[in-house]
Structure 1
């Protein structure tokens, strides 16, 4: 029985404390969330899971396959993350902030906050441009460093 406990990885006391605190916070949030309308929250959660698994995952797969083929990345698979990562982050931001980006809830947003929702589309486009620009700069830096190491003479020991 003792060798079984030796195989179980146990973190430091600080890691265990942080893990316990995160579980306590998640439990508190779950109780608060489910207190008012537990059926509505459960339906929303199941609906979101079904939408993700049955609609969005196939769309992700088709888009990723098109990206790999479009970049000719069957041979150059190392280029794919420089498009995949900013696309995923931009898509996630669009998914989360879609009602405000599309302007569908502008009246409710203005009445609740007193602020205009006109800035969300421009900010999302700016963040998307920064994400793709940063990925392009990282790719250029990587290609430049690779070229520099190819042209460098071998070190003499």
Structure 2
């Protein structure tokens, strides 16, 4: 993917218990409305910390339909480093989802390193604060994301 705009969200992407009683059409419209707000900022990649639950598969389905890449399970300890490296700000609420909080990269590509696959963010814009590489792995050896500078 080229011309990547990256958001680091810190809000839940699932329905709360009040939505269980709602009709499927209402749930769908709510999710699509939120995704429309995200898409309006130009965001096409979302990073989600491990502490944020993404249990509603409708979210993931409609984000994929909107061509928004989702990278889940970013380590909590890496959040500060990721935000500095990508030059983005954590977003705590859908109402605060604005373009000025997004990080940018020229290219994101998937490639293999060892036995796993990684996502590489390359040619990052406005890198001023960090100059290291970061590989984020899950406990079961699946590589979730890498930031190579």
> Aligning the two structures, in what range does the TM-score lie when normalised by the shorter sequence?
under 0.3
- TM-score between the two structures when normalised by the length of structure 1: 0.21
Larger RCO (CA under 8 A, 6+ residues apart): 2
Structure with the higher helix share, 1 or 2: 1
- Point out the structure with max Rg over C-alpha: 1
- TM-score between the two structures when normalised by the length of structure 2: 0.22
